[in-house]
Amino acid sequence: MPSADLVLKNARVITMNAARPAALMVAVEGDSISYVGSDKELDSFVGAGTRVIDCAGRAVLPGFNDAHLHLFSLVGKLTGIDLGPDSVSSIADIKAKIREKARQTPTGMWLSGAGFNEFYLAEKRYPTRRDLDEAAPGHPVFLAHRSLNACVLNSQALAMACITMETEEPPGGRIERELATGEPNGILIGMLDYIRREVMPPLSGAEFESGLKTLNRSFLSLGITSVQDASVSNDIKRWEKVCGLVLDGSLRSRVTLMAGAPHWKDFQKMDLKTGSGDNLMRLGAIKFMPEALPDRAELNEAALAVHQAGFQLAFHAITESEVTAAVEALEYLDKHSPVIKRRHRIEHCAECPPYLLERLKKLGAVVVTQPPFIYYSGERYLATVPESQLPWLYRIKSPLEKGIIVAGSSDAPVALENPLVGIYAAVNRRAESGQVLLPEERVGVDRALVMYTVNAAYASFEEKTKGSITPGKLADLVVLSHDPTIVPPEGIKDIKVDMTIIGGEVVWEA
């Protein structure tokens, strides 16, 4: 028997493999797991070149897999002004931060900020172009809402985007206006990607490199060994860019990149389809935005073409009407060719009443949800979501009990990317404020862990290579300071990552 390259001994191994749920030791040969079991076999695997790590009773789990986030938006957030609730609490604070950044930035250059949420601002409203003009009259200013569904531009930025009183509403977007004059007030709904890609200059090489370095370090320190980028703006250029970042090691976590629906034929022409790539970088689903195709017949036909071309589909669906549109599209596809094994995805599935759950189960759809929203936005949901919709909000237990595969994610930068906060939220359903949102939808910690490992891998057709600690699978592992299955539920979010291993290589240590 050849000696292992890496051995983790004296561990509480939570394998996420039902056939062998627990072990004491893991051995790694090359980039794959070669043994999982008792440490009585330790001597058989240790040779002159073996690195042996004594876990001292700490928990070892499969590396976490964030099934829905936005890489380029995360890099942009890390290079811009932090306007999250922990950083600002009023529009006055936002203006002060913009003024400070303007003083450090040459006149005429763009200022960018991200993460503001009007619910957590004292004024309970969005900043407007007038607020931003006052703070930085000499710069174009762009602010991204925490949801990534809205942005705010000042007058100079609006002019550069050619948005005036005469500008018509774009498909799937909205230009909010001042009541008295009809002039745009700077708030744009559903137009954030357009502004970033078509109006703003790209980040400089140094800015991008700095943001990416920070992001890579964050992923590794949080035990995130795989990510799935769900940006509808992903095109061939993005694919090539991320391939380069993964290949040169700038981004160590494995990446599955979705492609935006407008670009799917470009990928087809390159002979790329769902699953193309390798263990480092793969093409995922084709991302549809039902709100951008409000005509249901048009949405159905567009989805059918992609389905028949052999791609997996992912529908961005938050409201009940959007989830309904996604379900109806899948039912339409099913009339032409079976969808049951195609694992078409519903991203978010935020408002999902029982009648939709039943239909999703029949279609074999995968739900990719965001438990950390409960923690970071639960207080806002309880205050603002209509009472009629609240019982169906970000359900977890109900779809799982129906037999629907539910994967966990952060939607970062909408929420912070810490998987342990997501697992905490799925188990406790408790907001940061202490309020509880739909306690009947709580799940046990075992089920919550499955969402960020086994089910996340299943959502991208990768369950044969990742998601559990099983011989033959990739050696993507995380060593935790405490075992999440035995700590009190309230303590899960405070667990620390002590070590992250990707492909048998220790890529981060506390």
The string of DSSP letters for 377-413 reads: HHHHHHHHS-TTTGGGBT--HHHHHHT--EEE---TT
Write down the pLDDT at residue 16. 98
For residue 275, being part of any structural domain is answered with: no
Q: Indicate if 119 and 176 belong to the same structural domain.
A: yes
Ordered DSSP codes for 280-318? SEEEEEEEE-GGG--SHHHHHHHHHHHHHTT--EEEEE-
pLDDT for the residue numbered 172: 83
Positive or negative, the Cα torsion across 297, 340, 404, 148? negative
Domain stop point among 141, 165, 199: 199
Q: Does some domain include residue 409?
A: no
Same domain, 195 and 79: yes
**3-state class of 39 per DSSP?**
helix
Based on the fold, state whether residues 30 and 133 are members of the same structural domain.
no
Give the domain-ending residue among 199, 230, 261.
199
Rounded to whole angstroms, how far apart are CA atoms 148 and 191?
A: 9
Tokens of 452: 């960020």
pLDDT, position 292: 85
Both 114 and 179 in one domain: the answer is yes
CB atoms within 10 A of CB 449: 25
Residues 27 and 94 placed together within one structural domain of the fold: no
The predicted structure's pLDDT at residue 171: 85
- Is residue 284 within 8 Å of residue 312, measured between CB atoms? yes
Q: Is residue 103 part of a domain?
A: yes
Q: Is residue 140 part of a domain?
A: yes
Q: Name the pTM for this structure.
A: 0.95
Q: Residue 255 in contact with residue 224, Cβ under 8 Å?
A: no
Report if residue 305 sits inside a domain. no
- H helix runs in 85-195, sequence order: 91-103, 129-135, 155-160, 192-194
**Number of domains the chain is built from:** 2
User: What tens-digit pLDDT sequence spans the chain (510 residues)?
Assistant: 689 999 999 999 999 999 999 999 999 999 999 999 999 989 999 999 999 999 999 999 999 999 999 999 999 999 999 999 999 999 999 999 999 999 999 999 999 999 999 999 999 999 999 999 999 999 999 999 999 999 999 999 999 999 999 999 998 899 999 999 999 999 999 999 999 999 999 999 999 999 999 999 999 999 999 999 999 999 999 999 999 999 999 999 999 999 999 999 999 999 999 999 999 999 999 999 998 888 999 999 999 999 999 999 999 999 999 999 999 999 999 999 999 999 999 999 999 999 999 999 999 999 999 999 999 999 999 999 999 999 999 999 999 999 999 999 999 999 999 999 999 999 999 999 999 999 999 999 999 999 999 999 999 999 999 999 999 999 999 999 999 999 999 999 999 999 999 999 999 999
The answer on 127 and 28 residing in a single domain is no
Whether 153 maps to a domain, the answer reads: yes
Instruction: Specify whether the CB–CB gap between 21 and 36 falls below 8 A.
Output: no
Rounded CA-CA distance 416/399 in Å is: 24
Instruction: For 72-168, list the strands marked E by DSSP.
Output: 81-82, 111-116, 141-145, 150-153
Looking at the structure, tell me whether residues 78 and 195 fall in a common domain. yes
pLDDT at residue number 2: 82
Say yes or no: 80 and 194 in one domain.
yes
The conformation of residue 493, written as its DSSP 8-state character, comes to: G
Which helix (DSSP H) or strand (DSSP E) does residue 502 occupy?
A: strand 497-502
**Same domain, yes or no, for 92 and 47?**
no
Helix, strand, or coil (residue 250)? coil
One domain, residues 53 and 7? yes
The one-letter amino acid code at 11 reads: A
User: What amino acid occupies position 494?
Assistant: D
- Residue 395 domain-assigned? no
Do both 77 and 20 map to the same domain? no
In a domain, 509, yes or no: yes
**Domain end (from 184, 199, 214):** 199
List of long-range contacts for 135-139, beta carbons under 8 Å, 24+ apart:
135/94, 135/95, 135/96, 135/98, 135/99, 135/102, 136/98, 136/99, 136/101, 136/102, 136/111, 138/102, 138/107, 138/108, 139/102, 139/105, 139/107, 139/108, 139/109, 139/110, 139/111
Residues 6+ apart with CB under 8 A from 35: 4, 25, 26, 27, 41, 45, 471
Same domain, 12 and 116: no
CATH classification at residue 118: 3.10.310.70
CA distance 314 to 407: 13
Q: Where are the alpha helices (DSSP H) in 443-506?
A: 445-451, 454-459
Q: What is the dihedral of CA 367, 372, 378, 379, to 10 degrees?
A: -160
CATH of the domain at 37: 2.30.40.10
- Tell me the longest C-alpha to C-alpha distance in the chain: 80
> How big is the chain, counted in residues?
510
Range of the domain at 155: 72-199
Position 244 scores a pLDDT of 97
Contact yes or no for 118/124 (Cβ under 8 A): yes
